[in-house]
């Protein structure tokens, strides 16, 4: 996963353009993607697909021709969606187009101007302070023209048509945790799910933030009713503890599953309530759709000093943190896939487990008592209304133990799904 982050890091991404295509082409080497190109001007809900932006080169050069700021060194150096510029001007005239972080003088900020034509450069405050008054050559070799918005999907087929959406954004330039870490976890999660046949169908979305999710929702109206659950992956690789942000509903099944997995794992974590600000969970949870989609990250957006700066580089992303985020996703979807409701086929009194060999099957197990209690709890709550997660939460037993008990009872003909 970390190697994938490093490979994608140099590419200049935005909400449209060849940088997004190049990113998706690399992801396609790991998991097959279905690419979608949506033309400029297409109406998508209350938005319109913008013009496509591409950039080849950009720099600020001093009187000697030395590039003081160079897009070739980092894609962060240019204000995203900058219109083309070719001029020579004094520093005083250039200053309004320069973006720095005075409080973090060694870092380069990430800035964009998607919806208002503008141009500019991002640089460290230290670089700006070292620029003497004088004339500077300013060049941005970019195009902003009719084209397409690009996004991609990967589907892991399941046993049922109902879907789980896993979404990550691919619009940020050289920012490793936000959100190449999310992309990397999504890729390897898809590969892990494909090793078995999951219950649900899992649809992975690789799209630019906000406008990409809105475009997908606008183009998939007939599919929305199939979406049972969803998870947005973002900031998945820093050294902070895991944070789960609930869906707008607050009690969606995915909310309960993530809470259960995080609480029973013993991992340090936080669970936060939904707010209509953040990543694309706010699009999926908008009131017209109201999907059960939460968001999993480590340190949330804007919660670490390196956020949206050049400090968010591959060294900031920790391989063990990526591994931990992936593990939680795998555990959560394993619970989600097995969270069935059962009906007790012998509901009048407690069925005799011994003569069905169910107690014998527990012989010698170190958790025999726990497994026996799990069988009794499943039988008690197998009324067609309670799922196995309800059983685990109410009994305080591990979900895996409850699921194994349900499987044994099903095999003995005492319950049916």
Q: Taking residues 145-151, what's their average pLDDT?
A: 98
- Give 362's pLDDT tier (boundaries 50, 70, 90): low
Q: Is residue 382 over pLDDT 90?
A: yes
Q: Taking residues 314-324, what's their average pLDDT?
A: 98
State how far the Cα of 15 lies from the Cα of 151, in Å rounded to an integer.
10
Q: Is 308 annotated as a binding residue?
A: yes
Residues sharing a CB contact under 8 Å with residue 146, sequence separation 6 or more, in sequence order:
39, 40, 41, 51, 52
**Which 8-state DSSP code applies to residue 88?**
E
Dihedrals phi, psi of 255, to nearest 5 degrees: -65, -45
> How distant, in Å, are the alpha carbons of 58, 62, 123, 377 from that of 129?
20, 14, 10, 69
pLDDT in tens, 111-145: 999 999 999 999 999 999 999 999 999 999 999 99
Percent of the chain with pLDDT over 90: 95
Q: Is residue 361 over pLDDT 80?
A: no
Q: Is 178 annotated as a binding residue?
A: yes
Q: List where CATH 3.50.30.90 sits in the chain.
A: 54-145
Q: Is residue 365 over pLDDT 70?
A: no
Q: Taking residues 248-269, what's their average pLDDT?
A: 96
State how far the Cα of 157 lies from the Cα of 5, in Å rounded to an integer.
26
> Any idea which fold 2-50+148-338 has?
Aminopeptidase (3.40.630)
Q: Is residue 200 over pLDDT 60?
A: yes
Indicate left, alpha or beta for 134 from its phi (over 0: left) and psi (-120 to 50: alpha): left
Q: Is 172 annotated as a binding residue?
A: yes
Q: Would you mind telling me the total number of residues written for the chain in this entry?
A: 417
Q: Is the pTM of this model over 0.85?
A: yes
| Beta bridge mates, 142 | 55
Q: Taking residues 263-272, what's their average pLDDT?
A: 96
- Give 368's pLDDT tier (boundaries 50, 70, 90): confident
Dihedrals phi, psi of 153, to nearest 5 degrees: -130, 150
What's the pLDDT score for residue 265?
Answer: 94
Does the domain formed by 54-145 have CATH 3.50.30.90? yes
> How distant, in Å, are the alpha carbons of 18, 25, 171, 322, 404 from that of 13?
8, 13, 5, 22, 46
Percent of the chain with pLDDT over 70: 98
What's the pLDDT score for residue 308?
Answer: 98
What's the pLDDT score for residue 358?
Answer: 86
- Give 64's pLDDT tier (boundaries 50, 70, 90): very high
Q: Is residue 364 over pLDDT 60?
A: no
Q: Is residue 10 over pLDDT 60?
A: yes
What's the pLDDT score for residue 36?
Answer: 98
For 341-416, which CATH class?
mainly alpha
Q: Taking residues 221-232, what's their average pLDDT?
A: 96
Hunting for tokens 């996703």 — which residue is that? 329
Q: Is residue 366 over pLDDT 70?
A: no
Q: List where CATH 3.40.630.10 sits in the chain.
A: 2-50+148-338
What's the pLDDT score for residue 24?
Answer: 98
State how far the Cα of 271 lies from the Cα of 289, in Å rounded to an integer.
23
- Report the chain's mean pLDDT, rounded to a whole number: 96
Q: Is residue 363 over pLDDT 70?
A: no
What's the pLDDT score for residue 381?
Answer: 97
Q: List where CATH 1.10.10.10 sits in the chain.
A: 341-416
What's the pLDDT score for residue 359?
Answer: 73
> How distant, in Å, are the alpha carbons of 5, 101, 323, 332, 338 from that of 192?
18, 40, 12, 13, 16
């Amino acid at each position: 996963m970390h190697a994938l982050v490093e490979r994608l890091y140099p590419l200049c991404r935005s909400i449209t353009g060849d940088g997004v295509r190049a990113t998706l082409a690399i992801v396609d080497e790991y998991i097959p993607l279905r690419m979608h190109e949506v033309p400029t001007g297409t109406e998508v809900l209350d938005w319109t697909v913008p013009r496509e932006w591409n950039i080849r080169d950009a720099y600020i050069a001093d009187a000697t021709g030395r590039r003081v700021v160079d897009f070739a060194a980092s894609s962060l150096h240019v204000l995203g969606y900058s219109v083309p510029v070719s001029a020579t001007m004094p520093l005083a005239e250039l200053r309004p187009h320069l973006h720095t972080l005075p409080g973090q003088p060694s870092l380069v900020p990430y800035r964009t101007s998607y919806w208002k034509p503008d141009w500019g450069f991002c640089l460290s405050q230290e670089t700006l302070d070292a620029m003497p008054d004088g004339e500077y050559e300013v060049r941005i070799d970019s195009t902003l023209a009719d084209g397409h918005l690009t996004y991609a999907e990967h589907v892991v087929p399941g046993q049922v048509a109902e879907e789980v959406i896993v979404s990550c954004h691919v619009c940020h330039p050289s920012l490793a945790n936000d959100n190449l870490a999310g992309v990397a976890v999504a890729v390897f999660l898809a590969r892990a799910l494909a090793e078995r046949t999951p219950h649900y169908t899992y649809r992975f979305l690789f799209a630019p933030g906000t406008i990409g999710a809105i475009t997908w929702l606008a183009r998939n109206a007939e599919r929305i009713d199939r979406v049972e659950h969803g998870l947005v992956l973002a900031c998945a690789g820093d050294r902070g503890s895991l944070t789960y942000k609930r869906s707008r509903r607050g009690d969606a099944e995915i909310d309960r599953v993530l809470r259960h997995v995080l609480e029973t794992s013993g991992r340090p974590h936080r669970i936060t309530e939904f707010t209509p600000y953040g990543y694309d969970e706010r699009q999926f949870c908008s009131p017209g759709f109201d999907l059960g989609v939460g968001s999993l990250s480590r340190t949330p957006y804007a919660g670490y000093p390196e956020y949206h700066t050049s400090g968010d580089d591959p060294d900031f992303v920790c391989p063990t943190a990526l591994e931990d985020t992936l593990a939680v996703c795998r555990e959560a979807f394993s619970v989600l896939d097995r969270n069935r409701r059962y009906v007790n086929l012998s509901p009048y009194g407690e069925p005799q487990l011994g003569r069905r060999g169910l107690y014998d099957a527990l012989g010698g197990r170190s958790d025999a008592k726990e497994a026996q209690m799990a069988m009794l709890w499943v039988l008690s709550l197998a009324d067609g209304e309670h799922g196995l997660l309800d059983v685990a939460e109410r009994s305080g037993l591990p979900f895996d133990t409850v699921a194994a008990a349900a499987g044994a009872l099903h095999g003995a003909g005492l319950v049916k799904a």
